[in-house]
Structure 1
Amino acid sequence: MVVQFKVFKKAAPNGKLTIYLGRRDFVDHVSSVDPVDGVLVVDSSYLQGRRVFGQLVCSFRYGREEDEVMGLCFQKDLFLASQQIYPPKSDGEATKLQERLIKKLGGNAYPFTFKMPEQAPPSITIQPGKDDEGRPCGVEYYVKVYVGENEEDRSHKRSTIQLNIRRIQFAPSKTGRQPCTVVRKDFMLSPGELELEVTLDKQLYYHDEKININMTIRNHSNKTVKKIKAAVQQIVDICLFSGGQYRSTVSSVETQEGCPISPGSALQKVLQLTPTLTSNMDRRGVALDGHLKNIHTNLASSTLLANPENRDIFGMVVSYTVKVKLYLGAMGGEVTAELPFVLMHPKPDLRRMMRADSQAQVEAFRSESMGVSVDQD
């Protein structure tokens, strides 16, 4: 029996350097981040005394590439980690995957590991418009490996590898309090007030899950509620400059059922919304989870911050809110209530994954056969 371990491979244009990664998604646990570990295979006869360096880069693009004129650049690259891979400076402890790859790839394989800083943003892609060209706005990460005399040496395209990876977050194990708010509005020259109470059934929702919006309207005023609208809004804070906040409605519903709500009457109602990427495929400016080739994406997950006061060091911060609006006609105005919530992916069942991996290793050692399947970027 052969047990296959899938890895990702990318080679330099000249074919003299090749890197292998066991995964392209690295989890931000808020208090710690998975290290980026891989293996470099090098043709030592090509180097002729030169060295091979590796970098972990966070690239933040906050403007369209086609708008870059007269030397203007809307991109900032942050070099998070750097390492000399060949010749190796020290014999660090290799991971199990690195050991298997080195055993399979031979004597010209060298391990490398980059440690991601805790205070860095998750991968985010801002969905471009149909007519937009060039690289989309957002935050992306990539591993760069290049040949040079020293670390500051200029890299050449033919001997450079860039492999995109993603930094992702999963939903916390503990959820917050059930969101609830009450908005009361009185009117000039009018007795009484209009009361709107909105409650969500929980604070944390998973992608593609229905959101139940429970609302109670008590009309103690002399106004009449003629229409109700509920929407899920995605809020993206661009932290590099002030005023950089963008809101996009990713799901909405409008109804007149139960209306008009006349003075002295009340209404209890539940509306359902499901924010998905499918219904926002043509909406420019919507934030998505960082996109990689051949990997399905979705609406951007909420950004979890260990310390909200340090949000300025994050490139983009994504949050969600439910907004309910009552329309009272041209003269009456509107009554609005907002409730924040968290939208994320559930954390994988690590115990089940470890049991499956352990069983696979036992079967592999029994058969004394292990293989590596390669996904070439």
Structure 2
Amino acid sequence: MVVNFKVFKKCSPNGKITLYIGKRDFVDHITLIDPVDGVILLDSDYLHNRKIFGQIVCSFRYGREEDEVMGLSFQKDLFLASEQIYPPPEKREQNLTKLQERLLKKLGSNAFPFTFTLPPGSPSSVTLQPGSDDQGEPCGVQYYVKIFAGENETDRTHKSTVNLGIRKVQYAPSKQGRQPCTVVRKDFMLSPGELELEATLDKQLYHHGEKIAVNICIRNNSNKIVKKIKAMVQQGVDVVLFQNGQYRATIASLETQEGCPIQPGSTLQKIMYLTPVIESNKDRRGIALDGKLKHEDTNLASSTLLASPDQRDAFGIIVSYTVKVKLYLGALGGELTAELPVVLMHPKPSGKPKILHADSQADVEMFRQDTIDQEC
């Protein structure tokens, strides 16, 4: 049986270095991250008196490109992995993947494998949605594989450079967490009794595009009147580079007066449904989105899962979600608010990896030079 497998390919501007990689999404399993592996093919002229290096670059843009004046830069590059690929180190272990074995056999003696290991806690690929009048690269965290010729790992004098964008992604856990539930109460200084709001979600973990059911129970033991109920999903973005880089944005909301006014001594129980999706937030500047490859559509950013709270100091953007329920009591009564944390992510793909047989055929996707980073 012949099995087709996907291979991504990109050449340097002078055609001397060609990069082959089997996938562009690398999964963060919290305790470890999928290794980035592939093969480079060198022109025969480049096998003499030259060194070829490879790097995984995490690029964090935290300001608009058009605001960069007088040498000011709003971008930081973090080199998470770096090694010399050619000439290959003598003591390097050759633990090749099936894809690398097939590519080396197909490409010949001028092909050389590489494998990079990302450190745990590396930030996920996130893009902050630009405004309609913004130009240049959007703010956010991007990754790319960089292959170049030079005398050492910091040499940038040669023109032979290949940059190919990749993503670091997280998938939803296989098990649900505890069911979110909270009870808040409000008493009033000059009147007896209290107002009680109980909010419960049907589960903690939701997949993108899934409807969130908010169960609300209101017990009005005060002499105030509840005039309106509002439920919303808020996205929290923490740009850890800045001390005050936290903000929230409402990405789905529903307001109702059904069952209102809730008179003193009355009880109301109802369910409100919210669906946070990118389609209703297309024009919202600063909304966090999952990192993009090429110019394809994306979705709201997935929740960031951390192995420990200490990792909040890592380089990047941390995304979280909260369901908020608010009761409006009028100008004199004020408001009563309940909040519940929720996790929004993609499910882990269920497809099993294909087994590569000896007669497997490669489906190669070729990239133009203008698809990523013009530094070459």
TM-score (norm 2): 0.94
Task: Compare 10-19 and 147-156 and name the one that shifted more.
Answer: 147-156
CA displacement 1:286-317 (0-9 Å, x = unmatched): 10111111554211010110011221114111
Specify the alignment match of 1:343 in structure 2.
344
Matched residue, 1:147: 149
Counterpart position of 2:371: none
Out of 128, 131, 134, the position equivalent to 2:136 is: 134
Q: Is the 8 A contact 1:228 1:327 kept in 2?
A: yes
Equivalences, count: 365
Listed as ranges, the matches of 1:161-172 within 5 Å are 161-172=162-173
- 2:363 matches 1:373: yes
- Hey, what does 2:118 align to over in structure 1? 116
Counterpart of 1:135 in structure 2: which amino acid?
A: E
Q: Name the structure where helix makes up a greater proportion of residues.
A: 1
Give SS of 1:216's match. Answer: strand
- Poorly superposed stretches of 4+, deviation over 4 Å: none
Tell me the distance in 2 between the aligned counterparts of 1:120 and 1:2: 37
- Mapping of 1:183-202 within 5 angstroms? 183-202=184-203
User: Identity of paired residues, percent?
Assistant: 68
Partner of 1:25: 25
* Offset of residue 155 of structure 1: 4.2
Deviation at 1:48, TM superposition (A): 4.3
Residue 221 (structure 1) shift: 1.1
1:353 aligns to what SS in structure 2? Answer: coil
CA distance in 2, matches of 1:149, 1:210: 55
Match of 2:220 in 1: 219
Q: What residue number does 2:205 align with? A: 204
Instruction: Using the TM superposition, give the Cα deviation of residue 198 of structure 1 relative to its aligned residue in structure 2, in angstroms.
Output: 0.2
Cα distance in 2 between the residues matched to 1:242 and 1:252: 29
In structure 2, distance between residues paired with 1:199 and 1:78: 41
Q: Distance in 2 between matches of 1:9 and 1:313?
A: 31
Structure 2 Cα separation of the partners of residues 37 and 294 of structure 1: 24
- Corresponding residue for 1:353? 352
Deviation per CA, 1:306-350: give whole Å up to 9, x if none.
Answer: 01122111411110000111111112111111100111111222x
Shift of residue 32, structure 1, vs aligned partner: 0.6
Does structure 2 conserve the Cα–Cα contact (< 8 Å) formed by 1:36 and 1:115?
yes
1:120-164 deviation per Cα after TM superposition (whole angstroms, max 9, x unaligned) = 1111000101110011111111111111122221244x4111111
Inter-partner Cα distance in structure 1 for 2:3 and 2:48: 38
One-letter code aligned to 1:132: D
The residue correspondences of 1:325-344 to structure 2 (distance < 5 A) are: 325-344=326-345
Residue 57 in 1 paired to residue 47 in 2? no
1:45 alignment partner, SS class? helix
Give the deviation of 1:85 after TM superposition.
Answer: 1.0
TM-score calculated relative to the size of structure 1: 0.94
> What residue number does 1:80 align with?
80
SS in 1 for 2:166: strand
What is the alpha-carbon root mean square deviation over aligned residues?
Answer: 1.4
What secondary structure sits across from 2:99 in the alignment? helix
Aligned partners of 1:342 and 1:132: how far apart in 2? 30
1:240 maps onto 2:229 in alignment: no
Q: Which residue of 2 aligns with 1:89?
A: 89
SS in 2 for 1:283: coil
| Structure 1: stretches of 5+ with no match in the other structure | none
SS in 2 for 1:85: strand
The residue type equivalent to 1:353 in the other structure is K
Counterpart-to-counterpart distance in 2, 1:106 and 1:252: 58
Deviation at 1:205, TM superposition (A): 0.5
Q: 3-state DSSP class of the match of 2:100?
A: helix
**Map of 1:278 onto structure 2:** 279
Residue 2 of structure 1 is matched in structure 2 by 2
1:16 is the counterpart of 2:16: yes
Matching residue of 2:309 = 308
Q: Distance in 2 between matches of 1:155 and 1:95?
A: 32
* Local SS of the residue matching 2:176: coil
Cα distance in 2 between the residues matched to 1:78 and 1:126:
19
